[in-house]
Amino acid sequence: MNSPVLEATDIHKSYGSGSGRFDALKGVSLAVRAGESVAIVGKSGSGKSTLMHILALLDQPDDGAVLVGGEDAATLRGRAVNQLRNADFGFVFQQFFLVPNATVLDNVVLPLKIAGVSGRERRERGMAALRALELDDKAKNRATNLSGGQKQRVVIARALVNNPKVIFADEPTGNLDTATGQVVEDILFTLNREQGITLIIVTHDTELAERCDRQIYLRDGRETDAPAPPNLHGHGSEGAAA
Amino acid sequence: MNTGDLLKTAVQNTFRSKLRTSLTVVAIFIGAFTLTITSAIGAGISDYIDSQLGAIGAEGVLTVNKAPDTETAAEEGPNRYDPDRATADDPFPGAPAGPGGFGAGALTVDDIEAIESTHGVTSVEPTVFVSADFITADGSDKYEISLNPVSAAIVPDLAAGAPLTNSDQNEILLPDEYLDALGFADAEDAVGATVTIGATDAVGEQHDVDVAIVGVQNTSLLPLGASINENLTDALVEVQQTGRTVDAPVGYLSAVAHLERDATDDQITSIKEDLADQGFLAQTTADQIGAFQTVISGIIGVLNAFAVIALIAAGFGIVNTLLMSVQERTREIGLMKAMGMGGGRVFGLFSSEAVFIGFLGSAIGAAAAVLAGTAISTALATSLLSGLPGLQIMLFEPSAIITVILVVMGIAFLAGTLPARRAAQQNPIDALRYE
Ligand SMILES: Nc1ncnc2c1ncn2[C@@H]1O[C@H](COP(=O)(O)OP(=O)(O)O)[C@@H](O)[C@H]1O
Ligand SMILES: [Mg+2]
């Protein structure tokens, strides 16, 4: 519980150059310990997704370092980074990103297929993940024929099928109605509690943020201690969820 | 992703956009179809020429002529008369010119000896021209026939029977167009029968010679006449000399030089050079048909070039199809890369799709070409080309078909590299960023 799985120190990231240059992150540091659930909270455009992408090794910071299990990610080779993302990370993006014409099962086992796991084992582990999310009866359905909540559960099944250490979730409830969003949140926190999977959740929903062990507030690319006034936030999250 | 899964996924992906894939496949189909047909025509004709002239079977045989005058050959127009080159005067008045006959002098008896004493030559048969007035079978009418005594160089394309032998019996290979005329039911019926050949001697008297039919020869692309064996040749020469009072100077238009059976190409080349130094033009059967084949290969080459142009156009079709596919699947590619799929594997996935599309188009194209070509070829063999028995205008060789398919797959791979590289270099976060 005490060793950090992920550590970021003084992360800077800017987009564009010259007069069009935009500093998305201006020196953010954080450490995430194994088994923790951490919320990255902030308004739209505050740099939450950028920070998550850097932590998930999908992007490199311009300045500052990301340590994974104590090792500087900048020193890792491309292949090792791919391997790390494939084996240790699970992803839930704000959009579902399901392959439209493939079956639910095929979508779920994609990380295992990339890892080179054999067809039979893929099936078994994929079905187990679907069972955990009560979707095993939909295994043969086309991914496009599901409701929003079912799709998000498929996405979560895909994120945990490789038994990851960390699940990154970018606005996991942003696309769902309040009730379905609640179900998805419950699933994520159950995984955190029962399997000890570290959660890094990007959200602008304060209620979801408060269910996490710890919150990191971002404003204009910087970490702030004080949360924004609650009334403003409550209003914003309701508007987004509708 | 392991290679098996990669290939399987690539195949599945090509079927995701069926219309687009089909259209690209059609373009490749046309190129592959054409290429398969043209290569089959090339193979069919070469095979026919081989069977006609027995190029391979007549190894160890050189046809030797007096070399044409190379000094004057370079000049435009007819060769100038050169009294120094005058040879055995008027070898055989009225004799048909053999290969390379006109313009070159005749071979004298000394020449024949010179050829025989050339290192590597085991024996020499001067080519004698014999002519027959007619051929007839029991009870049939009399028909004109030309005789071909250069039979040593020919491995016959037989419809029935066996090749000529050196026995002391008169033997002939009957061209199949004589079967009906001479009253034979079919080729088998003719074999073993006896026919009569009439020849006129020097004083104009006609003599009959009885000849056994040992085989029936398919009609040849080059009308060479009926092949006859040495014994019959001698018999006819004897008839033709009968009553001749003045000794005509002896000369031959050409001679057949026999080499050792196992002579290598290098040895044959050096013998040819040796003979060339002595003023002879020596040609293997392959050399003789070479010119003919050069023309055929030229035509086939042009046709192939058109097919390749079609394939290159189809290659751009593949580029286009895959670029659209990469565009459409931006998110999917981004997702796979986010989940740890390496750029090399993404490249492999898309180039496999290109290669598979190439395979589909070329395999279907080649299969259609084989079906259509075989039907056309069979139809032609019994109608338009029935005068050339044994000619299968298209010959589909498995190796040629496999080559066509592999070449198309190669072109498809090259076409796929551009889209595949684009996919491989795609940045996952650009694809996954919420719009
Ligand atoms: N590829 C990019 N090019 C230019 N600007 C970008 C790019 N990606 C993000 N940004 C900008 O960086 C800022 C932070 O973006 P992001 O991390 O997505 O914010 P959040 O997730 O908090 O909404 C935004 O103002 C956004 O417009
Ligand atoms: Mg965002």
Question: Could you tell me which residue, B75 or B67, shows the higher pLDDT?
Answer: B67
Domain identity same for B281 and B300:
no
Chain A positions in Cβ-Cβ contact with residue B341 (cut-off 8 Å): 82, 86, 114
Least confident stretch, A151-155, A203-207, B202-206, B345-349: B202-206
Distance from CA of A88 to the nearest CA of B (A): 10
Question: DSSP E strands: which ranges in B150-270?
Answer: 158-161, 171-175, 194-200, 206-217, 226-228, 255-259
Domain identity same for B225 and B341:
no
Q: Mean pLDDT over all residues of chain A?
A: 89
With CB atoms and an 8 Å threshold, state whether A53 touches B339.
no
Count how many pairs of residues, chain A against chain B, have C-beta atoms within 8 Å: 61
Domain final residue pick, B236, B263, B285: B285
Q: What are B338's two structure tokens? A: 């986010």
Q: What are A39's two structure tokens? A: 């919320």
Q: What integer pLDDT is reported at residue A225 of this predicted model?
A: 79
Number of H helices, E strands in chain B: 13, 11
Which has the closest alpha carbon to B320: B415, B410, B407? B415
Pairing mode, strands A89-92 and A166-170: parallel
Domain identity same for B241 and B332:
no
Read off the pLDDT of each residue in A211-225 and give the average, rounded to a whole number.
Answer: 92
Is pTM beyond 0.80? Reply is no
Q: How many folded domains does chain B comprise?
A: 2
Q: What integer pLDDT is reported at residue A239 of this predicted model?
A: 42
Please name the residues in contact with B245: beta carbons below 8 A apart, sequence gap of 6 or more: B202
* Ligand 1 pocket residues where CB is under 6 Å: A 15-16, 22, 24, 42, 44-50
- The Cα B11–Cα B1 span in angstroms is 15
The percent of residues in chain A predicted with pLDDT above 90, rounded, is 71
Domain identity same for B385 and B237:
no
**Which amino acid is located at B33 in the chain?**
F
Compute CA A6 distance to the chain's CA centroid, rounded to the nearest angstrom: 13
**Which amino acid is located at B324 in the chain?**
M
Domain range enclosing B246:
59-285
Domain identity same for B253 and B365:
no
- The Cα A86–Cα B339 span in angstroms is 5
The CATH architecture of the domain made up of A36-46+78-227 is 3-Layer(aba) Sandwich (3.40)
Domain final residue pick, B268, B285, B302: B285
Q: What are A1's two structure tokens? A: 């519980």
Please name the residues in contact with A210: beta carbons below 8 A apart, sequence gap of 6 or more: A39
Domain identity same for B427 and B312:
yes
Domain identity same for B249 and B112:
yes
* Interface pTM, i.e. ipTM: 0.89
Compute, in angstroms, the gap from residue A114 CA to the centroid of ligand 1.
29
For chain A, which residues make up each domain, given as ranges?
36-46+78-227
Condensed to tens digits (0 to 9), the pLDDT of residues A110-131 reads 999 999 999 999 999 999 999 9
Please name the residues in contact with B248: beta carbons below 8 A apart, sequence gap of 6 or more: none
- The Cα A72–Cα A9 span in angstroms is 11
The verdict on B434 touching A (C-beta cutoff 8 Å) is yes
Domain identity same for B164 and B235:
yes
Compute, in angstroms, the gap from residue B384 CA to the centroid of ligand 1.
75
Other Cβ atoms less than 10 A from the Cβ of B62: the count is 28
